[in-house]
Amino acid sequence: MAQLLYSAKTADGRDRQGFVEADSARAARDQLRAQGLRQVVLHQEVAISQDEASLQGLSAADKAELAKLHLHFRERPGLLPLLQVVARKNRVWLVVDALLLAGGIWARSPALMLIAVALLALPFAPALWRYRHADRYQQLLKAHALGRWPEMVGLAGRLRSAIDLAENLDFDLDVRIASVRARQGDLPGALEDLADWQPRLVIHPGLYETRLAAVYAAGGDRAGFVQAMGQAQALSGDEPARVLDHALAQARFGDLARAEALMAGLDLSLLPPMAEGFVAWTQGLIAMRRGRPGALALLSRAVAVFLQRGGSPAVWTALAFCSCDQAMALHAAGQKAQAKATLKNVMPVLRAHADAPLLAVLRRDFMASESGR
């Protein structure tokens, strides 16, 4: 079963963080509510949950502390927040070392000062060593978002040679490399490159199909993209995140009635907070394709949510496509200058990831300005 990161409130209003073992989002929430917790928020999907090995041997208090750290870094990613956490956890050590350094300065002892500086740096060294791999992965995501394919493939090779990758990350790298092959015109070969992963990921129902959908999209196969998302939903047992993925796929390229039915049956409270933008995006697309009022407001809200996380290249592709839909709604509303300005900000990503029909629509409607090249 999956280990899902959660946050909640106790009956007396105290914050609670931790990991809950469950085979579905609904089961996880029900289990936590049965413990008397309220305002339960699940921060992970079942298919992409906490690595179980990282929790082995930890006490309940240690798991709670680890959960608190995960939530902290979701809100404040980056090197500086990491170093601040390390400093806070080692504050007694650092105070003692600072006194030692002061003593070395007072005694004019270079040896004592050098020892004190080395000891002051000691707590930060492991965190900095681990962070360099995380930073390399962020650079890989940036290269992928901007279509710098050789750079992305090279970074994937460096990551694999430097560390023993977790299965999910190893699969992620293979999917991104296969997507490049699909985008270059060899979709069958790209799908074949990933075939060996299917039996290996059977313990994560729907994950393989979800990521395979991205390869279909990269190869310009819209029908394959929608079909793979539908398969992912079915195999996952209708997990909320997979239902939302399928609804968005249908809203973009498929059956609007099906998208509406999926959204109507979706319990939004079971989705992680990061899904908020995808919910508004799906609702906005449905409204736009139906010609209903409020489409532009929904799409603008979705873009605003994605922009809140815009510092992470992991969201750049979703932000670009959602901004593209927002620009189309602006264009339809007669706000052509604003539509062009919206597209200009995301055109580098759209050029790398949009399929030929979408790029043709943008050229036709004069939304991609020459200055966006």
Enclosing domain of residue 189? 166-268
Domain contains 106? no
* Residue 79: per-residue pLDDT: 58
The CA distances from residue 299 to 22, 155, 253, 271, 329, in Å, are 33, 34, 16, 19, 8
Half-sphere exposure of residue 372, counting CA atoms within 13 Å on the CB side? Answer: 19
* Residues 358, 329 contacting (CB under 8 angstroms): no
Minimal CA–CA distance to 343: which of 323, 317, 315? Answer: 323
Q: 224: exposed, middle or buried (C-beta count within 10 Å: 0-12, 13-18, 19+)?
A: middle
The answer to whether residues 330 and 354 belong to one domain is yes
How far apart are alpha carbons 81 and 78 in whole angstroms?
6
Same-domain check for residues 209 and 248: yes
Q: Coil, strand, or helix at residue 13?
A: coil
- Whether residue 179 is found in the same domain as residue 256: yes
Which of these three, 47, 75, 103, is where a domain ends? 75
Q: Of 268, 296, 331, which residue is a domain's last?
A: 268
Q: What is the pLDDT along the chain (373 residues), one digit of tens a residue?
A: 778 888 989 989 998 888 888 888 999 999 999 999 999 988 888 877 666 666 666 777 767 777 776 666 666 666 565 556 556 677 776 677 777 778 778 888 888 788 877 777 777 667 656 657 778 888 999 999 999 999 999 999 998 887 676 788 899 999 999 999 999 999 999 999 999 999 999 988 999 999 999 999 999 999 999 999 999 999 999 999 999 999 999 999 999 999 999 999 999 999 998 899 999 999 999 999 999 999 999 999 999 999 998 888 999 999 999 999 999 999 999 998 999 999 999 999 999 999 999 999 988 876 544 444 3
**Which secondary structure element, helix H or strand E, spans residue 100, and what is its range?**
helix 91-107
Those residues with Cβ within 8 angstroms of residue 259's Cβ, 6 or more apart along the chain or in another chain = 247, 248, 250, 251, 282, 285, 286
So what's the pLDDT on residue 56? Answer: 67
List, as one string, the DSSP characters of 63-78: HHHHHHHHHHHHHS-S
Residues 297 and 241 reside in one and the same domain: no
Check whether residue 237 and residue 198 sit in a common domain.
yes
pLDDT at 212: 97
On whether residue 91 sits in a domain, the answer given is no
